[in-house]
């Protein structure tokens, strides 16, 4: 039988994606430090982990670990390039002397090294936020987790602490909101078990309305099905007016709220409210739990979209992401009230002190210090 499969297209150079701007910033910074090693003292707090490229991480680690050469020797011989290459090559086998010369040629001006370092730090911040957002999405959506709420709130706290540190590290500027279009909210399709729990909540609350005043932590928008949320609003409206609550009064209130339709008639309301079981607080906590995970998922998708857009500055990323977490914080407060958990005091991250990049400074001996102080 003849083979009629079409030949696969060849992979050409034009199919290779272009290097992102941070790649050129990393090259320019490393080139500046190859040309003028002493400028490593001027670039501010920076570590190998800030670099996106493994080879660049190895090169910067070598530059930070090795003492810079004397200026006169550096001007005459390539001892610095040789030392850096020898130190970095065991950690990045593909490095060559030719690439180090490429780095030196990629630096427009070694005096701009602090600016290049800021670019590297900014892109590292964006990648870090993106990684945390993906962890929050996983925690909020993985149904196999034994306690998704605890893990989700822990991931949210880690994000909030990260934003505290970033806001202290990057200055604010006009135009603080991200320009990224918000993503579509995650869908809330109710499976039969979820719908059944919400119906049980409505039936049980109708049979035991005395619990409604103490359940202000549950709101109609927490329900997965909008119709169930609207019926819960009918229940809380009756309770707030201190009126009798039973199947018939809820039906009458549902009529005033415009909930009755040919597809959802009066008999449907009566049947929905006719099967109480357990306590309304139990079913309410289940509904609020799903609402919290939904808000966490939605917030994480917003933050992910902000972090995936490289046009956002670190300040815009932090500002937009904090706003995205605000709704989750509000639902979290209601969850803590419902479950009797005390609010968690999250320690605010203090800005890290500016550290010296490069090899550690030589220590002054204890004997010398004590002898000086005794004079």
C-alpha separations of 199 from 96, 160, 193, 211, 225 in Å = 68, 36, 10, 16, 10
- Is the same domain home to 84 and 129? no
How many separate domains does the chain show? 2
pLDDT of residue 172: 85
- Is the same domain home to 169 and 130? yes
- Is the same domain home to 198 and 71? no
- Is the same domain home to 168 and 212? yes
pLDDT of residue 360: 47
- Is the same domain home to 137 and 209? yes
pLDDT of residue 174: 81
With vertex at residue 167, the alpha carbon angle to CA 178 and CA 343, rounded to the nearest 5 degrees, is 100
pLDDT of residue 15: 55
Report if residue 239 sits inside a domain: yes
Report if residue 365 sits inside a domain: no
Q: What is the CATH number of the domain that holds 37?
A: 1.10.860.10
CA-nearest of 116, 121, 128 to 47 is 121
- Is the same domain home to 246 and 320? yes
pLDDT of residue 344: 60
Neighbours of 180 (CB within 10 A): 17
CA-nearest of 212, 365, 357, 354 to 283 is 212
Global pTM exceeds 0.75: yes
Tokens matching residue 304:
């992910």
Q: For residues 138 and 291, what is the distance between their CA atoms, to the nearest angstrom? A: 16
- Is the same domain home to 102 and 128? no
Report if residue 316 sits inside a domain: yes
pLDDT of residue 366: 40
- Is the same domain home to 133 and 99? no
**Full pLDDT tens readout for the chain, 375 residues:** 455 565 555 555 455 567 889 999 999 999 999 999 999 999 999 999 999 999 999 999 999 999 999 988 988 898 999 999 999 999 998 899 999 999 999 999 999 999 999 999 999 999 999 999 999 999 999 989 999 999 999 999 999 999 999 999 998 888 788 889 989 989 887 789 999 999 999 999 999 999 999 999 999 999 999 999 999 999 999 999 999 999 999 999 999 999 999 999 999 999 999 999 999 999 999 999 999 999 999 999 999 999 999 999 999 999 999 999 999 999 999 999 999 877 666 555 454 443 444 444 444 444 433 343 343
Report if residue 119 sits inside a domain: no
pLDDT of residue 373: 39
- Is the same domain home to 194 and 303? yes
Q: Which residues of 231-265 are buried (b: 16+ CB within 10 A; e: fewer)?
A: bbbbbbebbeeeeebebebbbebbeeeebeeeeee
With vertex at residue 270, the alpha carbon angle to CA 265 and CA 271, rounded to the nearest 5 degrees, is 95
CA-nearest of 288, 281, 287 to 334 is 288
Residue 95: partners with Cβ closer than 8 Å, 6 or more residues away = 55, 58, 59, 85, 88, 89
Domain that holds residue 67: 20-108
């Amino acid at each position: 039988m003849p083979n009629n499969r079409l030949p696969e297209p060849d992979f050409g150079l034009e199919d290779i994606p272009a290097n992102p701007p941070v790649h050129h910033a990393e090259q320019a910074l490393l080139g500046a430090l190859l040309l003028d090693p002493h400028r490593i003292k001027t670039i501010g707090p920076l570590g190998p982990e800030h670099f996106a490229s493994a080879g660049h991480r190895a090169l910067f680690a070598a530059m930070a670990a090795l003492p810079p050469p004397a200026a006169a020797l550096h001007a005459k011989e390539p001892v610095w390039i040789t030392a850096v290459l020898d130190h970095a090559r065991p950690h990045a086998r593909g490095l060559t002397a030719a690439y180090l010369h490429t780095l030196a040629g990629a630096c427009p001006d070694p005096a701009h090294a602090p600016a290049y370092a800021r670019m590297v730090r900014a892109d590292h911040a964006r990648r870090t936020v993106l990684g945390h957002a993906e962890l929050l999405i996983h925690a909020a959506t993985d149904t196999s987790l034994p306690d998704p709420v605890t893990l989700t709130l822990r991931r949210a706290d880690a994000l909030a602490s990260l934003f505290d540190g970033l806001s202290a590290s990057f200055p604010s500027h006009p135009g603080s909101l991200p320009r990224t279009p918000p993503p579509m909210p995650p869908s809330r399709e109710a499976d039969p078990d979820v719908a059944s729990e919400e119906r049980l909540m409505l039936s049980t609350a109708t049979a035991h309305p005395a619990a409604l005043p103490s359940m202000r932590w549950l709101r109609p928008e927490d329900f997965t099905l909008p119709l169930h949320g609207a019926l819960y609003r009918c229940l809380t409206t009756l309770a707030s007016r201190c009126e009798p609550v039973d199947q018939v009064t809820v039906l009458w209130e549902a009529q005033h709220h415009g909930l009755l339709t040919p597809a959802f008639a009066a008999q449907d309301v009566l049947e929905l409210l006719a099967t109480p079981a357990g306590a309304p607080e139990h079913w309410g906590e289940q509904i609020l739990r799903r609402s919290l995970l939904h808000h966490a998922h939605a917030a994480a998708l917003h933050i992910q979209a902000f972090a995936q857009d490289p046009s956002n500055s670190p300040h815009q990323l932090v500002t937009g992401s904090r706003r995205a977490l605000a709704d989750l914080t509000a639902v979290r407060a209601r969850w803590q009230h419902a479950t009797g958990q005390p609010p968690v005091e999250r320690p605010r991250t203090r800005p890290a002190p500016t550290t010296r990049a490069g090899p550690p400074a030589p220590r002054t001996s204890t004997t010398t210090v004590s002898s000086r102080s005794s004079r």
